[in-house]
Structure 1
């Protein structure tokens, strides 16, 4: 049996082959791409222009992208823009044959034009094959099972992740589990690479065909990667000094490091040494949250006037005054151990479980995982409230009434827009059980009273007809003078 379909980039070799044993030069594929044997380069076949065949739809968009076959990922920076656009169409729940119009249509026209230019990018064939004859002969005799990998290197362009992977300190549970999973493999070295020198960043952000052709980073990788391993670039202390990176790194530590050395001070500059009630007000005598805040705010204004401090002189309280009064009551009696752990750097379970930190108003706030969400700052970092305090009960009751006596879930959701209560659902449920209004409308009907015993005449032995009664089957008419009345 003779081998056929021979082809080579050498014209001299092709001329030595019989015509019947040669393959079609224009239909040759290498690594899933077309191969131009005249200049020995490979390139990708351009996608068809779907814009010329009527309206643009999600079906046609997918069809055009599916025509681009790039198993080696050479043209990923150009194709990824189309895939991101298609992903946006899926998120909008568009149907297959819905027309793409407006800004989306203009965007797809621009992307489609770039996809049709993709054939302009050509790659020397040896990039995807072995570099020389010596390597060919060596690799050909090895299989996947016989290859020995002595060392593995993983790069990341996130300084915070690199510090998590490199640190010996204890991290919080979620991050610790991820780090252990990554570092469980042996013989792996983790290195840092800046975004400007990361080729993978080109493939994820997308680029134009014209820029891809001259992108040295994509085709040749960073120059230092071709040098000796010991000379590879590593992260410097100056790079790690970024304040945002340090804050994010420390937020996941289990042990407190480099805490504030200054003492906690109140708004008037005095150190916080006592958790007494503001102005010795007995909060247990208040049944309304609004009344408690207003009374405190009026006392604040009165004291400011006595001290001749510039204050609001209008008839009504301002929002600023009520918010200041609210802060007077938050965390005044509770969380002394949390304040102390932040001040001294000691370990506290609540502090690490909820990511508690001290804000500019000396209030304990919880660091949730919504820092990058498009929500208010109070929702990102809610104020920590104690469970069993009267202030918390008044706040829950006030919120419950504002929502027209809604259920536990709705009440708790509104509270968490600003405050965080440990075991919040159980706390809110316990407080709402004592709502008298809810009991009236949702508590059900009253229980039937206990039945009285039968009268003695009904349970004693007697002769037949010993007791008789007469039923008139209706009212008795009595004549009162000239008028008939019912009796």
Structure 2
């Protein structure tokens, strides 16, 4: 029964990938597994092991006759029992295109992230090409080609590094996962190690944090020599009482500067609390440049999002994070209420950003052309709504008092795109009609047409 359970848990398509802790157990597994598969009229063959003693116990015809085998996308060198990450050799002759860069980036299969600090450089380079809006088959500039050469040739060295496959774990010892996290302006990363641990949270200085290198990127040659990445900080091998302790009242000037530079999140959290918990004047505060048509909330640049729902979900997760910092216990998937709250904050943010004078006019009961034209009011959530002539119409509440949205604004553009997709890619008139069930955009038809032109790269004739 034990061997049967081993087989059930370790079959991948037509391969069985498993291991045991002794030659005797290996022989037992071989005999019982052969019998189980034989009963099903299948021949379990090409057995491979790093134990010569075991291989002498099984027939030659059942043994793999290769020194290296593919194991779940990695290369296993049997003799020294190591794994190698596969990376296609650089055969391209320069110059090169974005399509070929992506092909090279995708050629590295590293599911466990051993070479994340190296592959990050390739992803950042590809991201840079996207930001330049380069076409797939457009030739790179000479400067970009030189940078890519350095990165690409470095990838060739990945296959030269052999990673020990086996980790000896005594069955009587309880292990836990020890996770290090870090972020830079380029990326965020984590590095996870097995360790026996009673306390779960420590502050680790950047220079001793193995996740730091994965958030910044490096070369293969430097990564090979980086013991901290492969084994964790040196103090992990010591007794827990000898681990470094962080005293916040006794920090050197260098460390203080490092901590302050990495604690930029405090600004975001402050802004989030203003937005989520209302400002000191009882009103929601808008974060961002009032002259910008892009829009920022919680330091989130909405121009970097391709869909409205993604923007709202990211904002909702940030708001949940703020609540957890305030000791509120929240878990599980995002709720509809959280998503609706995030959407409301974005609407209030763009309204205050683009209709600040209108808000003041409504509150102080002053004359304003837009207020009188559209019959603008502030609802109980301080959201600007249009009443106009629709107040007595037989329409839904949303259509009677639609929310005012600015034209030439990224959030409005994302909402139009979302409504267009939600209604199965209908035309301009139908999309505008669907938008007006909830929102009102000045010169709405023109805005929807412009959004369509961007979505489908249409040229106005």
TM range (shorter): 0.3 to 0.5
TM-score (norm 1): 0.42
TM-score (norm 2): 0.44
